[in-house]
Amino acid sequence: MKKILLFMTLALWPACESAAYAALRVDIYGPGQNIVNLALATPIKGPQAEASGMGQTLQHLVEQNLNILPFMRLTSPNAVLGGTLMAGYEPPNFDFKRFQLAGSDIVVTTFWPGGDSGTKAVQMRVFETNTGGRLFGKEYPNVTTRDLPEVADRFCADLLEALTGNGAFFRSTIAFVKKTGTMSANVWLIKPMGRDLRQITNMPGEALSPAWSPDGRFVVFSHIDQKSHALGVWDHSNNKVQRIRFPGNVVIGPAFMPDNKVAVALSNGKYPVIFLLNHVFQKERVLEQSEAINVSPTFDRTGTKMAFTSSRMGGPQIFLKDLNNGSVTRVSRNGAYNSEANLSHDGTLVVYSRMTDFGHRIFVQDMVTGMERQISFGPGSDEQPSFCADSYFIAFASSRGGGRGIYLTTRHGGDAKQIPTGGGPASFPRWNTPAAQK
Amino acid sequence: MKRIALILSLMMALAASFGCAKKTGAGYDDGLTPEMRAAIEQITDARVYFAFNKFDIKPEYKDLLKNKAELIKKYNSIRVGIEGNCDERGTQEYNLALGERRARAAYEYLVTLGVSPGQLEMISYGKENPVAQGSGESVWSKNRRDDFRVVAH
């Protein structure tokens, strides 16, 4: 209840803040991704009065969050002549010049009007340093120490949205699988920054391939025990898990369509076939079949494009089906073994893994130009890539650190950062669609 | 209350002991004749191995499957589970499908030889249930296999 109140109230705070939104934009999707230099002013609770309790913790969390963004460079406080402790948190009591001279494009101010211990409100504002214009501001009322990670995530999501048009990353939750032994694995949830880790299934046998429903209510997954395959369904509304069996021998790689229906590969005679299930998880119709293996469906946000893995040309390759007209086109054209496709929500990119002599590597293909680009280079094996709803960040499983773990990169590649998942081999990262959580 | 709990736990222990004897076959006092126990061992001991990313039965395993077929037909109370497996190199979802094709290849061959489909069942473990750990072709070739398990007799 407190959480609801917290975020309901912040939504009421100056509506005019959004007026300046379009002032500074960062294109993270184009080929020439630009860098934003951002400075954090020292959090204050009054003129020149540093907020050193919750203020400092929140500052640290925001810093951690922003450091994960490849297009963001944080200005060192030492580079700011005269320091980052200011008389105020907005003009005219704020000196933008010193931040501008330190090379910062934008500066964040944090003000704790009632102090920063106990349960207090905090105001955060973002300004352009060259004009002093405000990009946006938010107030988070009734904040306690426990709320600070969530406040940091909410603020960073809003900042990301103001700069790039999409703040999904910091609002997301990733479902993944953690293995505890041979044929023993369960489904867990975690925030991309490694917070709020929790286990949602506890079943004997092995869970694989979790996938979120668009409304965030369900996580479905394949479940294998000693006797059978089944579709596992975790219901967020009651925290219960059901195991649904189907005629035949396999239940592989379920994925939700935008209308909350599940597509999954099931046995139908000789080869696995991609079926659409209805809202109560019963077979509705065939989405794709051929005299070959067809598995691992993935959809764009309109549900009109489906990428999948098929062995119709020998080894596994990625194909795209237009669900409006039924046409199927081959996507992956290089390499003998491409699988685990994941379509970006905007449908413009498909990411997949390719077997190479050195393990699997992740590739992204632009669906408009047909250009393919390698975005992971090991060591170890990089597999199971999954797009965030922003179509920018990509999570994948990798054995580069010895054991298997979950890593983050972007559609452009670059240094991958590991998400701490609390020990044990972790794999199959799958993002939710965070609009459902708002 | 205590008595109910005691009776329940006794019933569970009894049920578990019956289950074990039925599933594992040889090695338990399960009422099997020596001939039947030997047949079960022959059915379950020998594996069928596959080439990378393939699911066709190699000629060298056809006699082995013929032998299994004869034994399964002879003991028609037996139910055999065929478990398809893959090596670690492929990806998990695709390997689950490939493992199913491997299990199905043996299933179809046995049915062609006259085994009743009602005596057979299949499951794919993909690459989740390796018998050999490590990397390299000597390990991978051991893991690309069909296992045979007597699930009821």
Q: Which residues on chain B are in Cβ contact (under 8 Å) with A311?
A: 94
Q: How many Å apart are CA A320 and CA A326, to the nearest integer?
A: 10
Mutant choice from A177, A208, A226 vs B, greatest count of B C-beta within 10 A: A226
Q: What domains are defined for chain A?
A: 2-165 (3.40.50.10070), 172-437 (2.120.10.30)
Whether residues A295 and B94 touch (CB distance < 8 A) is answered with yes
User: Of A228, A296, A353, which has the smallest distance from its Cβ to B123's Cβ?
Assistant: A228
Would you give per-residue pLDDT tens digits along chain A (438 residues)? 445 444 444 443 443 344 444 456 777 676 655 789 999 999 999 998 999 999 999 999 999 999 999 889 999 999 999 999 999 999 999 999 999 999 999 999 999 999 999 999 999 999 999 999 999 999 999 999 999 999 999 999 999 999 999 999 999 999 999 999 989 999 999 999 999 999 999 999 999 999 999 999 999 999 999 899 999 999 999 999 999 999 989 999 999 999 999 999 998 778 999 999 999 999 999 999 999 999 999 999 999 999 999 999 999 999 999 999 999 999 999 999 999 999 999 999 999 999 999 999 999 999 999 999 999 999 999 999 999 999 999 999 999 999 999 999 999 998 899 999 998 999 999 999 986 434
Per DSSP, the three-state class of A410 is strand
CA-based nearest distance B129→chain A, Å: 6
Q: Which residues on chain A are in Cβ contact (under 8 Å) with B152?
A: none
Structure-block tokens of residue A356: 């190479």
User: Of A183, A249, A293, which has the smallest distance from its Cβ to B94's Cβ?
Assistant: A293
Whether residues B129 and A229 touch (CB distance < 8 A) is answered with no
Contact in structure between A178 and A186 (CB atoms under 8 Å): yes
The vertex-A403 CA angle with A400 and A404, nearest 5°, equals: 75
Domain boundaries in chain B?
32-152
From the list A408, A314, A413, the residue with the least C-alpha distance to A372 is A413
Residue B5 has pLDDT above 80, yes or no: no
User: Of B92, B94, B129, which has the smallest distance from its Cβ to A182's Cβ?
Assistant: B129
CATH 3.30.1330.60 applies to domain B32-152: yes
Whether residues A252 and B93 touch (CB distance < 8 A) is answered with yes
CA-based nearest distance A413→chain B, Å: 21
CA-based nearest distance B100→chain A, Å: 7
pTM, whole model, 2 decimals?
A: 0.88
Q: Could you say which DSSP state residue A43 is in?
A: P
Whether residues A208 and B92 touch (CB distance < 8 A) is answered with yes
**Reported ipTM:** 0.89
Mutant choice from A180, A231, A252 vs B, greatest count of B C-beta within 10 A: A252
Q: How many Å apart are CA B26 and CA B41, to the nearest integer?
A: 7
Q: How many Å apart are CA A43 and CA A26, to the nearest integer?
A: 25
Alpha carbon distance, N-terminus to C-terminus of chain B: 38
Q: How many CB pairs under 8 A join A and B?
A: 83
Q: Which residues on chain A are in Cβ contact (under 8 Å) with B101?
A: 271, 293
Contact in structure between A303 and A272 (CB atoms under 8 Å): no
Query: What is the residue whose two structure tokens read 């969390």?
Result: A61
Mutant choice from B91, B95, B107, B111 vs A, greatest count of A C-beta within 10 A: B91
